[in-house]
Homo-oligomer: A and B are copies of this chain.
Amino acid sequence: MQDDLKEEASFTLSDSDIQNIEENIEQGHEEAVETAVANLSAPDCAELLEKVSEDNRQIILEQHSSAIDPETYVELDPELCKDALEDMEAPQVAELISSLESDDALEAIENLDADFQKEVIRKLPIKSRISMEEGLNFPENSAGRLLQREFVAIPQSWTVGETIDSLRASSDDDIPEFFSDVFIVSSGSQVSGKVPLARLVRSKSQIKLETLSLEEIYSIPASMDQEEVAQIFRRENLLSAAVVNSEEKMIGVITIDDIVDVIDEEAQEDILKLAGVKDPSIYRDVIATSRSRFGWLLINLLTAIMASIVISLFDATIQQIVALAILMPIVASMGGNAGTQALTVAVRALATREVSDINSFRVIWKETIVGALNGVAFALIIGAVTFFWFKNTELALIIAISMIINLIVAGLFGAGIPIFLNRVGSDPAIASTVLLTTVTDVIGFLLFLGLAATFLI
């Protein structure tokens, strides 16, 4: 651990670097701050802005904006990026995003307040104005939102030598600074080939480019959801892919660095949705954060009240045997935990497409058996604990039976709920947890208290 931290320190901004800059701000050493900010790379500057106090962030953004690399805004937490840009005047934002590549520019402005966004776009040079407007027309989280309009397109008839000559002669405005593949494009903008740079540089001058093309081009429709795009990149180990519009014309490329962010985002989204967190930004203010958490907690309150209603059905029984009140949370809580294990595995397997219709019943069946096996194990343990605690064989037997059944239910519903939600077209990560705990709580209390009411009294 210590070693890792040391190694890492050489690459990224350290906490003490940040502290230094904050001290300089507080002591009014403006020049020192300006120099420090100007020397930071975009990712480092973004980290600085994220980690300083809110007051210091404002000072850096307002007084040292000229020292900030424009790419910093793209690297910044989206919430902070939005706040920072909305604090500026529209022409300043327009100037700032003009220096970015088209995909980064779109990313920077897509979350802005609609009116302000229009104002910014109106101040852009005509070419980027059109590309921003077209980009915003694609649905959120689609390939169209990720695409970079700068790419290398080569006519079908060219040789390796002609291609390299043309690349050497091209200006920075026409093609991106970095690219991994060259696309063979017809006069009608149809993509007919894709040549990795590694193949290009290893081939003799006179070779025809089209003979070097990869077999599969994997052209991405602009309307495709980014999660699908990420799946294709990951599966086929792509570095870049052509994006085509509805007429199959190439309109841009998607590159692996954007996909890395998507993969990150999607995995993050699942984990947060399972916990009922809609807005994960640690930079959002407390009121907005509290509000965004409220809905999920309210639904959980309803679930908890439902469980209480089940308990209230047995109030007479509980009054007679108070041990029931003591033991009843155990069955429900074990069901919840065992179900969550099955549920998490199923949600991730659905996200990575490991589960589809063809094997979904096999997965549900397996989780049910796993629930049964652990149900038996924990029935024995909790049965023994109950027997020694309350010296009551019937009570021990009843809690054991409830445990087995509730863990079977947990496995069945834990895997079944997300698979069912996915099949009917809902997002399995969002509602699964609440549905599952409702089932395991209600059945847990109902079983244990119901069996007790029937057999103990």
| A126 lies within 8 A of chain B by Cβ | no
| A329 lies within 8 A of chain B by Cβ | yes
Q: Are A330 and B308 in contact (CB under 8 A)?
A: yes
Q: Are A286 and B344 in contact (CB under 8 A)?
A: no
Which of A29-37, A107-115, A127-135, A368-376 forms part of the interface with chain B?
A368-376
Q: Which of B8, B307, B330 contacts A305 (CB 8 A)?
A: B330
Question: Provided the pairs A197-B198, A294-B374, A315-B326 are in contact, do residues A260 and B256 lie with their beta carbons within 8 angstroms?
Answer: yes
Which of A92-100, A116-124, A183-191, A264-272 forms part of the interface with chain B?
A264-272
Q: Are A378 and B301 in contact (CB under 8 A)?
A: yes
Categorize the interface residue count of chain A.
Answer: 35 or more
- The answer for the CA separation of A18 and B359 in the assembled complex, in Å, is 11
Total identical chains: 2
Interface of A is mostly: helix
Q: Are B201 and A197 in contact (CB under 8 A)?
A: yes
A359 to chain B, nearest CB (A): 5
| A59 lies within 8 A of chain B by Cβ | no
Q: Are A286 and B201 in contact (CB under 8 A)?
A: no
Question: Provided the pairs A201-B167, A282-B349 are in contact, do residues A276 and B329 lie with their beta carbons within 8 angstroms?
Answer: no
Enumerate A1-41 residues with CB–CB distance to B below 8 Å: 1, 3-4, 7-8, 11-12, 15, 18-19, 41
A-to-B contact residues, CB < 8 Å: 1, 3-4, 7-8, 11-12, 15, 18-19, 41, 43, 47, 50-51, 53, 77, 164, 167-168, 170, 175-180, 196-204, 216, 218, 221, 223-225, 228, 231-237, 239, 256-257, 259-261, 263-264, 267-268, 270-272, 274-277, 280, 282, 286-287, 289-290, 293-294, 296-298, 300-301, 303-305, 307-308, 311-312, 315, 318-319, 322-323, 325-330, 332-334, 337-338, 340-341, 343-345, 348-349, 352-359, 362-363, 366, 369-370, 373-374, 377-378, 381-382, 385, 425, 441
Question: Provided the pairs A239-B256, A282-B366, A325-B311 are in contact, do residues A51 and B344 lie with their beta carbons within 8 angstroms?
Answer: no
